[in-house]
Structure 1
Amino acid sequence: MHDAPHAPIPPAPAHWHAIPHEEVAGRLGVTSVGLTPEEAQARLATHGPNALPESPGRPPLLRFLAQFHNALIYFLLAGAAAALALGHYVDAGVIIAVVLVNALVGFIQEGKAEQALRAIRNMISPHATVMRASRRQSVHARDLVPGDLVLLEAGDRVPADTRLIRARGMLIDEAILTGESVAAVKNEAPAAVEAPLGDRHSMAFSGTTIAAGQGAGIVVSTGPHTQIGRIGRLIADVEPLATPLLRQVNAFARRFTWLAIASAAALFLFAVGVRDYGWSEALIAVVALAVGAVPEGLPAVITITLAIGVRRMARQHAVIRQLPAVETLGATSVICSDKTGTLTRNEMTARRLVIAQVGLVDITVSGIGYDPEGALSWDAPGDAARGDRAEAPAAAAAQLLRCGLLCNDAHLHAENGVWRAEGDPMEGALVALAVKAGLGPERERAAVARIDEIPFDAAYRFMASLHRDPQGEAVIFVKGAPEEVLKLAGVPGGGVWEAAIARAAAAGERVLGFAMKRLAVAPARLGFDDVRDGFAFLGLIGFIDPPRPEAVLAIAECRSAGIGVKMITGDHGVTAGAIARQLGLAEDPVVATGADVDAVSDAELVDMAARTSVFARTSPENKLRIVRALQSTGAVVAMTGDGVNDAPSLKQADVGIAMGRKGTEAAKQAAEVVLLDDNFVSIVAAVKEGRTVYDNIRKMIAWTLPTNGGEVLAVIGAILLGIAMPMSAAHILWINLATSATLGLALAFEPTEPGVMERPPRPPRAGLLTPFMLWRVALVSVLFTLVSFAVFFQSLWRGQELEMARTLVVNTLVVMEIFYLFNVRFLHMRSLTWRGALGTPAVLLALAGLVAAQLAFTYLPIMQAIFDTRPVALLDGVMIIGIGAALMVVLELEKMLLRRLRIFSAADM
C-alpha cells in the first residue's frame, strides 16, 4: 500500500485482475488509511455516481399511438369505417374495441428493456463499508469512487467491481454473472490475463454476494463501467424483435390490404362504368365487399387463442409474460439452455469413491442429489471378492466416508419430503454419502467430537479438523484439492492417483482428496505446523451435478421434433461436455469455450454455432453473439437463463425463458417466459403447447378466410352478372360476427393433434398461408360461392321472393361453415372419425349457441324486422343440412386425394 495519494487517476487498464494489488493501489492512489473525504468528492465529480444510468424512454402518449402503426390495424379501421357507412354502429364499435384492446396490450407490454435495466439497478448494494481517512464508515453505494478501500464480509452484496487486497476464506456467489452454481473461491494473488470472468479469483464484482469469509479490496470500476453495468448497456443496445406470428400477420395484412383496395376500386369503376350502377348503389356494393373481405373477428380470436395457450402453459409451469411468446415457442428451432438446475438437478452428488486396495478400487454410489437413499458397490480386483478380503474395500471406504463426514460443516434436512443441504453443496453431498453407507451424522459427530479446525482457504486449498475419538486419541482429518492433500500425505506425483484424478475430471466430476493423521497428544489449537506432513491418504471422491432424468427424455423429444438443443454455461468445458454426453445432446458433442468465441469473427461464428453443442465459460457478450449467429441462419431461438449475465441474450432471443426459482429479477424482466420449476422438461412441454396454439390459429384462419372469400366472390359475381346480390351487407356482417363469436372461438380450444412433436419446426420465413392453405381457401371459397348462387337461383326459380332467397343463402352458408369446422379441426389427419364426430365441449357449446342464434335470425319477428328475413320451411331446412354434409364429404375426399398424391409436402401443409 502506498503512503501518498496520486491525484490524477490514469486510464483503467483492461485487466485489473491480472495486476498485483500493490500496483493497483499505486495506480489509483490508494493509501493504507483510505481516501480523504475531499479526494473522494473530487473523484465522484469526475467519475459520476456508482449507479446505472436511467434510460430516457418515449413519452407514454407516443408509445400508445405507435401501437396503431400497423397495416392490419389500418385495415381493421377501414372495416370499421365501412360498417359505419352502412349504419351498423354496433359492428363498428366491436371492431374499434378490438383495435383498442390490442393497442392497450402492446402499450402495457412494451417497456421490457426499461424494466430489465431497472431490475439490474436494484441489484447494486445500497450501502458499503469503506475506510476513509483512517475511519471505518458506511457510505451510500452511489458515493463509491475508484480507489475507495472497501471492507467485505459474509452476507454483503459487493457494491462495485473490486480488486481484492485481502481474502480470508472468501467465497463469492457469482451465479448472476457467470451462471456457476458453486461459490467462487477468492484470493488476492493476480489471475491470468486471459482468465474468463468465472476464473478471476482476485476480483469481487458488483451485485454478487459474499457467501463466506471476509476481506478487503480496492474499488476499480463503478456504475456503468462495472461488469453488471456493461450488461446493462448490452440490454439497452438490443433491438426488440417481432415474433414470427406478428411478422406473418403484418405481411399478410399488407398484401391483403392492397388487394382489397385494388379490388374495391376496380369493382366500383366496373359497377358505375359498365353496369350503370348509381353512385350510391355502387358505393353500397363496394362497402359490402369491404365488409365481406375484412376478417373482423381475426385479431380477437388470435388474441383469445394466445390467451388460452397462456393458461395451458401455466399448467406446464411456464408463465407467459407476453402473449405472442406463446406462438413463438411453437416456432422454436433451437433451444439454448443453461446447464445448472435446468438440465441438471443443481444438487451435488457423490458419484464415485477411489480407494487403494490391491491397486485402486472404484466404488460407485447410487442415488441422486441430497436424498440419502442409495448404496455403494464395487468390483474388487483379483480374488479380493472372496472371503474376508471382500470386507477390505468396505473398511477402507468407511475411513474415507468418516473423514468426509467429520471434516464437514454441512447438515441435511427434509422439507415436504425433499432433502436440502445447509452449507456447501459438496459438503452436503458428503453427508448424504455417509448416510447411504450406514453412518449416522449426529452419532458420528458426537462420538468423534471436533476440537478445532482450519477453515478452507484458497491460499492453501484444504480444510482440516481436529477431533478426539472415543478412545481419547487425537485425529486430524483433511479434505481439499487432491494435489494438495497428496502432498500432505507425501505421495509422489505422476502416479496412479493422478491418473484417477484425470479420469474423474474427464467424466465431468469435481474431485476432492481425503487424508487423516493420528496424534499421541491433542494440541490445544490446530495450527499449520500440525498439518505439514505425516498424513495417510484415504482416497478420492468424485462429485457431479447429475442430469435430470426427465431432461434426457425431453432432449430426445426435441431431436425427434427437429429442434436443436445447445448448452451455454459458465461451467468448465470438460464438465459441461460430460453432462452433454449423459444427456444425449448429440452423438459426439462439440465443446467450445468463451475464448474460442472471442477468437472468431461474426461470420465465422455462424458456422461454429451451428456445429457446436456446448459453449462453456461464456461471457454475456459471448451469449449475445451466439444467439445472433443462430438467428442469422433463420433459426427461431429460445434462450434460458437466470442471472444478470443472461439478460442481454434473453432479450435478444426470439423467446427468452427465465428461471422462476433461482432467476434474478433482471432475467425475468428481460424474458417473455418464466419457468416456475426451472426444469428443461417444462420448456419442451411449452414448445408443444406453442405448436398447438399455432395449429389452432392456422385452423381458425383456414376456416375464416373461405367464408370471407365466398362472401366477396358472391358480391363480385353479382356485380359482374348485373343481378341482385344474394346477401345484403347486413347479412354478411351477421354471418361474420355470429360465426366468429361461436365456431371461430371454439377452434381456440382445440386439443393437441397426435404427432405434433414429430413434425419439424415450420420454416421461419414461411408465410401465414402455406401452399396447402392457399389451395384450401381458394377451393372452399369457390364452393361456398357456387352453392350460394345455386341456392339463390333455385329459390328464385321456384318463385320465392328475394328476401326468402337471401334468407336461404345465409342459412346455407352458416350450415356449410358448421360442417367445414368439423373438417378443418384436423389439418393433418382424417376428420371423419368417431373422435372427430364427437367434437369437444367447446365445439358442441359453440354449435348450440350458433344454432340458437340462427334460429332467432330466421324465425324471431324482431330479427326478421332488422335483417328482413323470412321463415324457412322444413324441407328447405333438410336440403340445407344435406348441402353441408355433402360439402364435408367432398372436402374429406379432397384431403385424402392430396395425401395420396402427395401434392403438398409436409412443409407446405
Structure 2
Amino acid sequence: MTVDAVSQNVPPATVTDPADPAARSDWHALPHEEVAGRLGVTATGLSAGEAQLRLERHGPNALPETPGRHPLLRFLAQFNSALIYFLLAGATAALILGHGVDAGVIIAVVLINALVGFVQEGKAEQALRAIRNMISPHANVLRDSRRISVEARDLVPGDIVLLEAGDRVPADTRLIRARGMLIDEAILTGESVAAAKREEPAPAEAALGDRHSMAFSGTTVAAGQGAGIVVSTGPHTQIGRIGRLIAEVEPLATPLLRQVDAFARRFTWTAIIGALVLFLFAVAARDYGWTDALMAVVALAVGVVPEGLPAVITITLAIGVRRMARRNAVIRRLPAVETLGATSVICSDKTGTLTRNEMTARRLIVPMPAGPAAIEVSGTGYSPEGELSWPRPGAPSEAAQDLLRCGLLCNDAHLHNEAGVWRVEGDPMEGALVSLAVKAGLSPALERGAWARRDEIPFDAAYRFMASLHQGPQGEAVIFVKGAPEEVLALCPAPGEGWNDAIAQAAAEGERVLGFAMKRLAEAPARLGFDDVRQGFVFLGLVGFIDPPRPEAVAAIAECRTAGIGVKMITGDHGATAGAIARQLGLAEEPVVVTGAEVDAASDEDLVGIAARTSVFARTSPENKLRIVRALQSTGAVVAMTGDGVNDAPSLKQADVGIAMGRKGTEAAKQAAEVVLLDDNFASIVAAVKEGRTVYDNIRKMIAWTLPTNGGEVLAVIAAIIVGSIMPMSPAQILWINLILTVTLGLALAFEPTEPGIMDRPPRAAGAALLSRFMLWRVIFVSVLFMLAAFAMFALSMARGQGVEMARTIVVNTIVVMEIFYLFNVRFLHMSSITWRGALGTPAVLLALAAVVAGQFAFTYLPMMQEIFDTRPVAFLDGVMIVGVGVLLMIVLEVEKALLRRLGVFSAEEM
C-alpha cells in the first residue's frame, strides 16, 4: 500500500490537542475525518516528536504487568486451611504413637497438595501473560510522510497504521481505508467467519462484531489491505479490557473443597472437645492415671482421624482425570474433576462446540414458473456425500444447473480428502459450494477445465459481490456473479416476485444466504470491469448455508435435560442464526433469545431472572458473558462455561469450571480454564460431567465406608472408658486397621465404574453438606454395629478364657472382615448390592481383597507381626465365626437399605 493512497483518506484537518482516547468508546460511529480531527492527525502522520510526547502521556501500547506475591508467601499460604491443620493433627497423633510411616504419608499428602496449589495459583497471571503475547510485536505506521516499522509498544493514539493480509492488528484502530479487507475476530467475538471491513461509520449501538469500521488489537487480517488511525492502546483496547476483567475475577473454591473444608473444621473441633472431655472423665470419674488417660485419648485421636482419607480423595480425583482424558477432556486442575460432576448449568459457545464449524449448503431456492422453489440438500460438513431433492419429479430446472455451475466457477476454494476427512482450502462458504456441486453430479476439475476463467473481480465489502469471466466449451462468454442477495438482485432487471420473502425466511431459519446471477456476452472483453457487471444479469437463485449442529451434541443436550442440567448458548453470532440452531439442537421448543445489548441494559438484579429463563444469548461481549455467569451463580447454580477466544477468558475464570477448546482455542482461554477439550465437542463435556458424577459418587462411597470404621473404633474406646472396661484394641492395632484398610479397600473404591442411572439424577445442590442426612445416618448406624460386634466378640473371647491378647486379635479380625462385607454393600448406594455384578466385584476390589486377606494372615500368624502388635493365632472355628459376623452385617445393611428406599425416609439426592 502506498503512502499516497493512505494520505488521500486523511483530511487536512486542523490539528487540535487530542482528547484522551480512553474517554471515548464510540470511535466506530464517527466519520473517520472527525476521528482524524479529534486526534490531531494530518496526511503526513504524526511527527517523531509528537509521537514521543503522546507515548509519555498515554504510556506504552502493552498490557500492564501485575505484581505477584513472593513465591515463598504463595507456598506458605497453601497450608492455611482447616483441612491442613486437621491432617497435621493426625500426623502428630501418629508420631506420638511412634508410627512414623503413617506420619510420613500424611505429611507427604500435605506437601503434595501445597505444591499443586502453588503451581495452579498462578493461573490468572498465566492467562494475562498469554493475552499480552497476542499483541503484535511490530507495526507499520505513517510518520513524517514516511512508512516506517516501529515496535508495537511504541504506538500511540493518532498513529496511522498500515495493515495487510497476514498482519496482526497492533492496536484498536478506526479504519480510514479498507480494500477487500477481512479480519478474523474469532478471539474477540467467537465468529468463525472473518468480518468484512469498510470505512463508513457503524451504528453507535453496534455490537463488537458489527463494528465494521474498526480493527481490534490482537485480531488478524485474513484478506485485503487497509489503513487506520490508532484510537486506543494498551489497557484501553478491547483486549486490554478483557485483561482487566480477568485480573478482577476472584478464584472460586470448588464445591468439594468447600465441603471438605467445612467438614474438616467441624470434625477437628468435635475431636478436640471430645478428647478433652474424655480425658477429664477418665481422670476424674474412672480414676485413670494421667499416663493411662493420655494413652486412651491418643487411641481416640488415632481412631477418629481418617489419616488416609485425603490421600485417597486425591487419588480418586487423579483416576477421574485419567478417565476424562480418554473422553477427550484434559483436566488442568485436579478439583475440577469433581466440580464437573456438580454442574447444574452449562453455558456453551455455538460454533464448533454445538455445531460442526463447517458450512454446509442446506438448500437451493431457484426460479420456477410458479415462483421460487426450494431444493433441499442432504449431508453435513464439507463431505460431498448427499443428494438434492428437486422440487418436482423429472429433470431439474435449467436455472438450478446454472446456479450450481455459477457457485462452482465463481469460486476460489478447493476440497481435499485427508485421511478420510474433507478439508476446505479457502473460504468456508465457497468450500460448501464445491461440495454442493459434487453432490449434484458436477466434477470440479472437468467444469473448471471446460469453463476457463479469463478474469475476475474479487469480493470486496464495498460492493459485496464477486464476479468471474469464463469462456465456455462452445466458445461462449459468460459472467458469473455471487454475493449478498440484495446486491445481486440489483444487477438483474426482472428477477421475479417472492425473492425478498425467500431471503427473509432463510434468515429467520438461521441460514446465511448468497445470491447468484449470470450474464451471457456476445464477445468476451479483454478485462472484466465494473461496467460489465452493472446490469443485464439473469437471477439464478439463492443458496442457504448453515453450520449444522453436531448430531452427538443433540443427544448430549437431551441427556442433560434428563440429568437436570440446564444448557445455555452464549455466542457472538446473530440472534436469528443462534435461535434457529438452538431449535435444531433441542435447547427449547421456542428458545428465548436475548442480545448483548439487552444484557447491557438490564440491572444485576433483573439479569438473574433473565439468565434463568433465557436459552440463547447472542452478540455478546466479554462483559456480558461475565455478568451472565455471575447471575447464574447467584442462584446457587454450579456453572460450567465453554469458550475458545480471548473474549471468553474472564468468564472461563469466573465459572465454577472453565472449559477451553483444544483445537481452536487461544492460549489465553486455555490458561484461564480448568478443562481443555481435545475435540472441541459438546458431547465430550457431558461425558466429562458423567465422569465427574462418578468421581463424586466414589468419594461419597469412600467416606461412607471409611468413617464407620473410625466411628466404631472411637465408640469402642469411649464405651470402654465409660464402663471401666479393658480396651478391646490397642492404639497400635487401631493404626494397623486404618492403614491396612485405607490403602487397599479404600483405594479400590476409587476405581468403581459408573452406577446405572447416574445421569437420571438431578445435580446435587452446590451448598449440600459432604455428609447428607442419609450418609450421617449410615455413619452412626454402622459405627454402632461395629462397636457392638467388637464388644460382643471381645466379651465372648474373654468369657471363654482366651485372654486379652487373643480377644483383641479376634476383635481386629472381626472389624476387618466386617469392613470387607461393608465394602460390597457400599459399592452400590442407589441399588441392591446382592447381584452378580455386586458379588463378582471389579479387578481393583478383588486385588484389594487379596491384599487385605494376606495382610491379616500375616498380622495374625506371622511371628514378627505377633511380636509388634501383640497378637495370637486364631483357631479355624473362630475364623468361621468371624466371617459369619461379616455375612450377618451384609444382610442387616441390605435390609436397612431396602426399607429406607421403600419408606422414602431419605430423598434420592440424599442417598
- Letter of the 1:56 counterpart: P
SS of 2:333's equivalent in the other structure is coil
Find out whether 1:374 has 2:391 as its counterpart.
Answer: no
In the aligned structure 1, how far is the partner of 2:347 from the partner of 2:822? Answer: 40
Aligned equivalent of 2:5: none
Deviation at 1:244? 0.5
**Structure 2 Cα separation of the partners of residues 553 and 396 of structure 1:** 38
Aligned-residue RMSD, C-alpha: 1.0
Q: 1:15 aligns with which of 26, 39, 44?
A: 26
1:405/1:441 contact within 8 Å kept: yes
Asked if 2 retains the 8 angstrom alpha-carbon contact of 1:357 and 1:392, the reply is no
Q: Secondary structure at the match of 2:193?
A: coil
Q: For residue 392 of structure 1, report the CA deviation from its aligned partner.
A: 4.5
CA shift digits 1:700-740 (9 cap, x unpaired):
00000000000010111111011111111111111001100
Distance in 2 (alpha carbons) for counterparts of 1:26 and 1:574 = 38
Matched, 1:456 2:449: no
1:406-442 alpha-carbon deviations (Å, 9 max, x no partner): 1111110011100011111100000000111111111
Kindly provide the CA deviation profile for residues 523-556 of structure 1, in whole angstroms up to 9, marking residues without a partner as x: 1111111111000000010000000111111100
Q: Deviations over 1:68-113 (max 9, x none)?
A: 1111110111111111122222221121111111111111111110
Aligned mates of 1:86, 1:470 — CA distance in 2: 97
Return the TM-score normalized by structure 2: 0.98
- The answer as to whether partners of 1:116 and 1:667 remain within 8 angstroms in 2 is yes
| Contact 1:178-1:570 at 8 Å conserved across structures | yes
AA of the residue aligned to 2:40? G
1:6 matches 2:15:
yes
The alignment status of 1:649 with 2:648, answered yes or no, reads no
Q: 2:4 maps to what in 1?
A: none
Superposition pairs of residues 411-560 of structure 1, within 5 angstroms: 411-491=414-494, 495-560=497-562
Deviation per CA, 1:93-149, whole angstroms, max 9, x where unpaired?
121111111111111111110010001011111111111112211111111111111
Aligned to 1:83: 94
Aligned-partner residue type, residue 234 of structure 1: L
2:694 corresponds to which residue? Answer: 692
2:225 matched residue in structure 1 = 214
SS at match of 1:31: coil
Aligned with 1:391: secondary structure? Answer: coil
**Structure-1 residue corresponding to 2:196:** 185
The match for 1:850 is 852
Q: Are the counterparts in 1 of residues 860 and 873 from structure 2 also a CA contact under 8 Å?
A: yes
Structure 1 stretch displaced more, 833-842 or 136-145: 136-145
Give, in whole Å, the separation in 1 of the partners of 2:492 and 2:502: 17
Map of 1:806 onto structure 2: 808
- The one-letter code matched in structure 1 to 2:457 is I
- In the alignment, is residue 765 of structure 1 matched against residue 753 of structure 2? no
Task: Specify the SS of the correspondent of 2:395.
Answer: helix
Count of aligned positions: 899
Q: Distance in 1 between matches of 2:159 and 2:887?
A: 83
Structure 2: runs of 5+ lacking an equivalent: 1-9
Is 1:602 paired with 2:622? no
Rounded Cα–Cα distance in structure 1 between residues aligned with 2:300 and 2:545: 71
CA separation in 1, counterparts of 2:59 and 2:239?
Answer: 16
TM alignment of 1:706-745, pairs within 5 A? 706-745=708-747
1:379 positional shift? 3.0
Q: Once the two structures are superposed, what CA deviation does each residue of 1:136-170 show, in whole Å capped at 9, x if it has no partner?
A: 11111111111111110001111110100000000
> Cα deviations across residues 815-855 of structure 1 (Å, max 9, x unaligned)?
10000000000000000111101000000000001111111
1:587 deviation in Å? 2.2
CA separation in 2, counterparts of 1:301 and 1:87?
Answer: 23
Contact 2:169 2:217 in 1 (8 A): yes
Q: 1:2, CA displacement in angstroms?
A: 4.1
1:195 counterpart = 2:206: yes
Residue type of the alignment partner of 2:395: E
AA of the residue aligned to 1:691: R
Q: How does 1:53-92 map to 2 (within 5 A)?
A: 53-92=64-103
Q: CA deviation at 1:907?
A: 2.0
How do 1:72-221 residues align onto structure 2 when only pairs under 5 Å count?
72-221=83-232
Task: Map Cα deviations across residues 666-687 of structure 1 (whole Å, 9 max, x no partner).
Answer: 0000000000000000000000
The separation in 2 between residues aligned to 1:871 and 1:558, in whole angstroms, is 56
Secondary structure of 1:908's match?
coil
Q: Deviations over 1:742-786 (max 9, x none)?
A: 000000000000000011101111100111111110000000000
- Partner letter of residue 565 of structure 1? V
Correspondence list, 1:867-886, <5 A: 867-886=869-888
Q: Secondary structure at the match of 2:301?
A: helix
CA distance, structure 2, for counterparts of residue 679 and residue 442 of structure 1: 34
2:186 and 2:14 map into 1 onto residues whose CA distance is: 35
1:690 and 1:501 mapped to 2: Cα distance?
Answer: 45
Partner of 1:256: 267
The equivalent position to 2:401 in structure 1, one of 382, 398, 402, is 398
Q: Check whether the contact 2:16–2:38 (CA below 8 A) recurs between aligned residues.
A: no
Measured after TM superposition, the shift of residue 491 of structure 1 is 4.1
Residue aligning to 1:365: 377
* Partner residue in 1 for 2:3: none
Alpha carbons 1:349, 1:369 under 8 Å: kept: yes
- Quote the Cα distance in structure 2 between the aligned partners of 1:287 and 1:488: 93
Query: How far 1:42 sits from its partner (Å)?
Result: 1.2
Q: Which amino acid aligns with 2:388?
A: L
- CA distance, structure 2, for counterparts of residue 94 and residue 510 of structure 1: 61
Q: Structure 2 CA distance, aligned partners of 1:4 and 1:437?
A: 57
Query: Equivalent residue of 1:906, what SS?
Result: coil
- Structure 1 Cα separation of the partners of residues 14 and 76 of structure 2: 55
Q: Which amino acid aligns with 1:750?
A: E
Question: Is residue 668 of structure 2 the alignment partner of residue 666 of structure 1?
Answer: yes
CA distance in 2, matches of 1:682, 1:543: 26
| Counterpart contact for 1:375–1:436, Cα < 8 Å | yes
1:222 maps to amino acid: T
Alpha-carbon distance between aligned partners in 1 of 2:88 and 2:776, rounded to the nearest angstrom: 25
Q: For the residues of structure 1 that align with 2:122 and 2:160, how far apart are their CA atoms?
A: 37
Residue of structure 1 in register with 2:640 after alignment: 638
Paired letter, 2:359: M
2:907 corresponds to which letter in structure 1?
S
Describe the superposition over 1:461-509 as per-residue Cα deviations: whole angstroms up to 9, x where unpaired. 111111111222221111001001001102479x400000011011110
* Partner SS state of residue 163, structure 2: strand
Distance 2:794 2:395 in 1: 96
Kindly indicate whether the alpha-carbon contact (under 8 Å) linking 2:15 and 2:42 is maintained by their aligned counterparts in 1. no
| 8 Å Cα contact 1:157/1:210 also seen in 2 | yes
- The 3-state SS of whatever aligns with 2:459 is coil
The one-letter code matched in structure 2 to 1:8 is D
The percent of aligned pairs where both chains have the same amino acid is 81
Deviates more, 1:645-654 or 1:75-84: 75-84
Aligned AA (1:464): A
CA distance in 2: counterparts of 1:308 and 1:9, whole angstroms: 59
* Residues 316-344 of structure 1: per-residue CA shift (max 9 Å, x gap): 00000001000000000000000000000
- Deviation (angstroms), 1:578: 0.3
Which stretch shows the higher mean deviation, 172-181 or 440-449?
440-449
Conservation of the 8 A alpha-carbon contact between 1:2 and 1:29:
no
* Residue type of the alignment partner of 2:510: G
How big is the shift at 1:33?
A: 1.7
Q: How far 1:616 moved relative to its partner? A: 0.3
Task: Give per-residue Cα distances to partners, 1:435-459, cap 9 Å, x unaligned.
Answer: 1111111111111111111111111
